[in-house]
Amino acid sequence: MRLNKYIASSGLCSRRKADELIEKGLVMVNGKTVTELGFIVGEKDKVFVEKKLIHPEKHQYYRFYKPAGYITTCDDEKGRKTIYDLLPENLAGLKPVGRLDKDSTGLLILTNDGDLINALTHPSVKVPKVYMVTIDAPVKKSELEKMASGIELEPEKIAYADIQVLEIDSKHTEMCITLYQGMNRQIRRMFEHFGYEVKVLKRIQHATLNLEGLKRGEFKPIKPVQIRELKNFLNRIADEKDCNNG
């Protein structure tokens, strides 16, 4: 197995990040520093990253329906409740793919597959994430058009969204929103930009995975056929990006 894949299979990071660690001289195999990116390791070799012994892990994949009131992190300095308070100890080593803020609910993918995490979150690959969103007033068509074309939330950072209005009256607007970016609190900030408050924000789909069969606070393993479908989908997106860039 290539050294970068071995490191990624431990759940420590993606292969790309593993290559960076190797190039920086932070990886040792059997007591010797290795900087060759194509280096091959065997089952009996001992690999250390930053002097810590690592082991390949069997990849695990779960869907989790995050409820409101929990933050998406392992530990919190302020003592707030985290999603890991709801998960069994054997899933404590899995990492969430992206985040949902404390007041948001919906789908989180949990895994120790560093390559998959990178493929789902890397900014160069536009992976769709779908949300059900309710704001506190009727939204204007001109504002929806501006959000579709992009608004500057930060210097040189343009946020955009595909928005479908499902229901609108004098007191609220309910929408289905698709994002292809991973900016922090993007949806809330986009509506705050126009003076609206988001009352409900629920992620219902990430790439090919959705909340089907999950109750709030519940988690379930992702089936192998779903993982294959997900990886095939990500490969197609990456291929399309390469073709467009070419």
Alpha carbons 83 and 98: distance in angstroms, whole number: 13
Question: Which is catalytic among the residues 75, 85, 101, 242?
Answer: 101
Q: Is 166 helix (H, G, I), strand (E, B) or coil?
A: strand
Pure H helices in 39-180: 114-121, 141-149
Alpha carbons 155 and 176: distance in angstroms, whole number: 27
Whether the Cβ atoms of residue 60 and residue 112 lie closer than 8 Å to each other: yes
- Tell me 171's DSSP state: S
b/e burial code for range 215-244 (CB count within 10 A of at least 16 → b): eeeebeebeeeebeebbebbeebeeeeeee
- 101 catalytic residue (yes or no): yes
Whether the Cβ atoms of residue 33 and residue 48 lie closer than 8 Å to each other: no
Catalytic residues: 101
